[in-house]
């Protein structure tokens, strides 16, 4: 079974009440429910976590890589500052998609630069909770394609 870790960084535990004009009114628990429903339709297993602590995120990225899982990550502000997350993603071997609820490119200039994008499969931003679902589909498809390539030829 394909396993995907959905990792959430600092302040995402405040979704639903934190700057709703930017992040919307959907809570992280509601996003988790949507992600789990989508994973169910894909036949995937999901580990969903949030931490305000960079080291926890690094540990979880490494764990996903060890397990052969994929990653959907909303690293929050760490997206723009964390070499540790960048290095963990690069070193883990886990196919990773960076997601954001808001369109970071329509916001402050400091948010236009991501340290984790260069080591990710891609970046999805600006679609609210749907960004997570699109990221989940992208990682799932990548893992499914890799799994098919790894199967021995049936001749």
Which listed residue (23, 78, 132, 140) is catalytic? 23
Residue 87 annotated as binding? yes
23 catalytic, yes or no?
yes
From the DSSP assignment, how many helices (H) and strands (E) are in the chain?
5, 5
Residue 34 annotated as binding? no
5 catalytic, yes or no?
no
Residue 111 annotated as binding? yes
Which listed residue (5, 56, 78, 100) is catalytic? 100
Residue 17 annotated as binding? no
CA distance linking residue 103 with residue 95, whole number of Å = 22
Residue 134 annotated as binding? no
> Which residues are registered as beta bridge partners of 72?
6, 97
Residue 150 annotated as binding? no
Using CB atoms within 10 Å of the CB of residue 20, give its burial: 0 to 12 exposed, 13 to 18 middle, 19+ buried. exposed
Angle of helix 28-42 versus helix 130-150 axis, rounded to 10: 30
Known binding residues: 74, 80, 87, 101-102, 111
Known binding residues for substrate: 74, 80, 87, 101-102, 111
Catalytic residues: 23, 100
């Amino acid at each position: 079974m394909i396993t995907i870790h959905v990792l959430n960084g600092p302040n995402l535990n405040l979704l639903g009440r934190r700057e709703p004009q930017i992040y919307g009114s959907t809570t992280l628990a509601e996003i988790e429910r949507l992600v789990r429903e989508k994973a169910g339709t894909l036949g995937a297993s999901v580990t969903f976590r949030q931490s305000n602590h960079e080291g926890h995120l690094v540990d979880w990225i490494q764990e996903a890589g060890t397990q052969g899982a994929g990653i959907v990550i909303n690293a929050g502000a760490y997206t723009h500052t964390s070499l540790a997350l960048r290095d963990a993603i690069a070193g883990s071997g886990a196919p990773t998609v960076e997601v954001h609820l808001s369109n970071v490119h329509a916001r402050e200039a400091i948010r236009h630069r991501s340290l984790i994008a260069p080591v990710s499969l891609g970046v999805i931003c600006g679609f609210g909770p749907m960004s997570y679902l699109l990221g989940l589909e992208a990682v799932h498809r990548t893992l499914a394609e890799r799994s098919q390539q790894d199967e021995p030829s049936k001749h």
